Structure 1
């Protein structure tokens, strides 16, 4: 598809595929894959809403994919390693591939945060979650694995109220 994207027509993905109990802080996250709607294959674009108390992801870093985030509305907390910083609408952040520092955004306010996320799509990507026995391999059917390579089981999207 090319041309204007009807954002309202995109079925949102609520929650994450993280194995329990690692999904708790992300279960209310809402993503709309704008890039998929446009037929993009080389990079992804998501419009992501973080309700109060929700994180964009677990702190993580990518081996081969760059990430860029633009704050559309709200005031998320940017987490990079042990540092935090408050962001405002119009602020942005970037995370180069291979930088071994975990990052994410958290909504610690009482209003929704809306983000535009842009990132490389690499079919052989590996993602690491510092301090957790978790890694993702995009080329693996299991997707999530323990650090010893054993796959997690029962990987499914869990939204609010789903265990």
Structure 2
């Protein structure tokens, strides 16, 4: 069954970050469309970000490419290079192993909706340049010195 009925895909609210880092993404909503379709090589999430919310902590991946496409609303893309608005129809790409931390922030007055598409790699590591957080392919968050949360 190739067609995915989005209304039947469960919504996940928040993030898996340990405290206090989870607070900024506590109201973010994601629907794992790729999982619903049985995809295993890459993920596709339909994401909703309310005003004031962050998509994630600023991060970059060693073995995963990421791509976002804004469907509605307005977001601010924050990278090492500064800030840039993203509106409906805009997109951004984040190649793997490029150490340029990025995330999206909703500074507008309406919920922003966007697609996130990314590869999946068990060998990936994710770096968070602004905070004491690190994660490898197993998904267990640690401090940058390797001690667990």
TM over 0.5: yes
Q: TM-score, length-normalised on structure 2?
A: 0.97
Q: Where do 1:62-141 residues align within 5 Å?
A: 62-139=61-138
SS of residue in 1 equivalent to 2:4 = coil
SS of residue in 1 equivalent to 2:34 = helix
Match of residue 147 from structure 1: 144
| Distance in 2 of aligned mates of 1:50 and 1:81 | 21
Runs of 4+ in 1 over 2 A off after TM superposition: none
Higher strand share: 2
| Distance in 2 of aligned mates of 1:47 and 1:12 | 9
User: Per-residue deviation at 1:137?
Assistant: 1.4
Structure 2: gaps spanning 5 or more residues:
none
Contact residue 58 and residue 130 of structure 2 kept, 8 A: no
Comparing 82-91 with 48-57, greater Cα deviation is found at: 82-91
Quote the RMSD (CA, aligned, Å).
0.9
Match of residue 42 from structure 2: 43
Structure 1: gaps spanning 5 or more residues:
153-163
Contact residue 69 and residue 92 of structure 2 kept, 8 A: yes
Q: TM-score, length-normalised on structure 1?
A: 0.89
Q: How many residues align?
A: 149
